Structure 1
Amino acid sequence: MYKILVTRRLPGSWLDMLKQLAEVEMWDGIDAPPKSWILSKISDKDGIIVTLTEKIDKEVIDAGRELKVISTYSVGYDHIDVPYAKARGIRVTYTPEVLTDATADLIFGLMIAVSRRIVEGDRMIRSGGWNVPWYPEFMLGKEISHSTLGILGMGRIGKAVLKRAKGFDMNVIFNSRRQHDVDARYVDLDSLLSQSDFLVVTVDLNKDTYHMLDYSKLTKMKSSAFLINASRGAIINQADLVKVLSEGKIAGAALDVFEKEPLGPDDPLTKFSNVVLTPHLGSATRETREKMAEVAVKNLINCLRGESPLYEVTL
């Protein structure tokens, strides 16, 4: 039988199916397993299923002497040294597409929440601060309909956001590594920043996009604009974003991802009433997370059988 290491419990019954085909050793805690645990268990494993919180670097890969496949339960794979794994003849798989709609839905939820001050209003009621029933200038927000949406990155999630934006009659512009045949206007990055009422980040995290949005870029946004990020936290220089928010350079932000997770309650971002924060919920629907488990397990099994996985990382 194959020997498999699994670094997290996964929703649904797909791990039960895997146990019928392989000897499975799994970390059963809620917190991420320490690297020392992975190193102590991986030497005789044929495959490993990991999540974003586990760093699969050269040390881990070298410790996996029998390792044939790394299956990540995520669309991102920046936590894996893919070139080194490939050089060792180890296949790397991932779970794109299945989380596209769930993430795009959350992005629109974040846009509406921050622009219409939904979370701020909820806090006001809960704290006893709603003292006047209604007046014309009470808690005015920003309309999404007919606004300009800027999408940074036009991959699967960017296209799903575009599809939803059309239902809101938004004017959509985008910037990405290459132009796409989509119903939106391609612009350069500076134009995207300066023209967008809502700037949505959907690019992957890599050496070129790390801290792509720093102070010099963020200050090119409109003072009335909102920044939305459900991709990777490190694409935005978080300290610079705090500075921009403190100076009132943008109208607000809605963030599902952060440079360091979990975000602590004393983080400066938690002090802004015009910032909506969610704890990395992009793919967090039962349907999506169970489908991700299915894909991660099938990717692993297919590779071990010498078959094509559903989704393989290519360089």
Structure 2
Amino acid sequence: MGARPKLLITRRIFPEVLERLDANFDIVSNQADDEWSAADLLARVADRDALFVVASDRVDRALLDAAPKLRVVSTGSVGYNHIDLAACKARGIAVGNTPEVLTEATADMAWTLLMAAARRVSESERWLRDGQWKRWAFDQFLGADLFRSTLGIIGMGRIGSAVARRARGFEMTVLYSNRSRAANEAEVGAQYVERDELLARADHVVLVLPYSQATHHTIGERELSLMKPTATLVNIARGGIVDDAALARALKAGRIAAAGLDVYENEPALNPELLDAPGVVLTPHIGSATRSSRVGMAMLAADNLIAFFEGRPMPAQVPLG
């Protein structure tokens, strides 16, 4: 029996997933969840055949150059913009991701942020905890209606469709913008419009599109200026899709009313202007953070690796073109 392939796992993973991988690989794992520097990662990957990463790990040319034996990368995320696909293709390295597992949990999170931001939940809770609630008033923390309002979804893939389905319970008008018309638009009750029209008409805008250079700062100064001053913006997609500095300025100037953000440019670093912007709800990239979703993501990432070395098709392989 030959030597088992060598696997590097960059983050702590669930015991049941580690046990499954341990039966198939010679593992070096960051189970202590230590903060590895870029140099640490490069040193650890040098003799590895396989790599299990997360969305905050950069798999770039420098890392690939440091890993001459690397044959496959599996990321525990749907998005793969942190992986240099062209460089992987050039080296014959396969790439796997974890679509579908987190669809419903992430759609739930979109609604969590939308409702919290539109109804000023975080802002009013901080005010209450600070001991400022002395009496009730008619005009105290007036938020925006969701029932029978207009929802705009930018990106009508699996998660965008799940967000749209949930809007039925609020009897919302649903608009969407996408690279192409969605085949399921009638099924989810959504109407296609151009992006500028969506921004102008929607009371609430949810971003669910993948990050690329083409989608960088999809929402910037110009786009924010098109939105209603009473509007809410929610980003559960990827950092970089929103110009965070422009959003902070828009919130402070009252050009839009509220925002709910789970992802950020340069995360985990945060634009400090967002911290004191009014009407903003901030969460630390927890869109898929239910146990069933996160275990499912890690297990699918593991299954991709196991299938590759068993010579089977990976359950979720990223096309490299």
- Deviation larger for 271-280 or 104-113: 271-280
Alignment partner of 1:135 is 2:137: yes
> Distance in 2 between the 1:81 and 1:60 partners?
10
Which of the numbers 46, 53, 58 marks the counterpart of 1:50?
53
SS state at 1:207 partner: coil
> Distance in 2 between the 1:298 and 1:200 partners?
31
Alignment partner of 1:300 is 2:305: yes
Aligned length: 313
Conserved? CA contact 2:248–2:277, under 8 Å: no
Amino acid at match of 1:158: G
Which of the numbers 261, 268, 274 marks the counterpart of 2:273?
268
Structure 1: tracts of 5 or more residues without a match: none
Amino acid at match of 2:177: N
Match of 1:34 in 2: 37
Conserved? CA contact 1:32–1:54, under 8 Å: no
Q: For each residue in 1:91-148, what CA deviation from the matched residue of structure 2 results, as whole angstroms up to 9, or x when unmatched?
A: 100001111111110110111101111112211221111110x332222211111110
TM-score by length of 2: 0.94
> Distance in 2 between the 1:118 and 1:220 partners?
25
Alignment partner of 1:89 is 2:89: no
Match of 1:180 in 2: 182
- Deviation larger for 286-295 or 7-16: 7-16
Q: Where in structure 2 are the equivalents of 1:81-160 lying within 5 Å?
A: 81-132=84-135, 134-160=136-162
Q: Where in structure 2 are the equivalents of 1:162-177 lying within 5 Å?
A: 162-177=164-179
Percent identity over the alignment is 41
> Distance in 1 between the 2:231 and 2:285 partners?
22
> Distance in 1 between the 2:204 and 2:221 partners?
17
> Distance in 2 between the 1:135 and 1:237 partners?
36
After TM superposition, give the deviation of residue 31 of structure 1 in Å: 4.9
Kindly report the root-mean-square deviation, in angstroms, between the aligned alpha carbons of the 2 structures: 1.3
With over 3 angstroms needed to count, the CA separation of the structure-2 counterparts of 1:59 and 1:229, relative to structure 1, is: same
Amino acid at match of 2:296: K
After TM superposition, give the deviation of residue 32 of structure 1 in Å: 4.4
With over 3 angstroms needed to count, the CA separation of the structure-2 counterparts of 1:45 and 1:105, relative to structure 1, is: same
> Distance in 2 between the 1:12 and 1:143 partners?
43
After TM superposition, give the deviation of residue 247 of structure 1 in Å: 1.6
Q: For each residue in 1:199-254, what CA deviation from the matched residue of structure 2 results, as whole angstroms up to 9, or x when unmatched?
A: 10001000100111110111110111010001112001111111211221101111
Conserved? CA contact 1:68–1:304, under 8 Å: no
SS state at 2:240 partner: helix
TM-score by length of 1: 0.96
Which of the numbers 217, 220, 232 marks the counterpart of 1:211?
217
Alignment partner of 1:228 is 2:234: yes
Amino acid at match of 2:191: R
Match of 2:285 in 1: 280
Alignment partner of 1:238 is 2:244: yes
Alignment partner of 1:161 is 2:163: yes
Amino acid at match of 2:26: E
Conserved? CA contact 1:12–1:290, under 8 Å: no
> Distance in 1 between the 2:24 and 2:315 partners?
18
Amino acid at match of 1:156: R
Structure 2: tracts of 5 or more residues without a match: none
After TM superposition, give the deviation of residue 298 of structure 1 in Å: 0.3
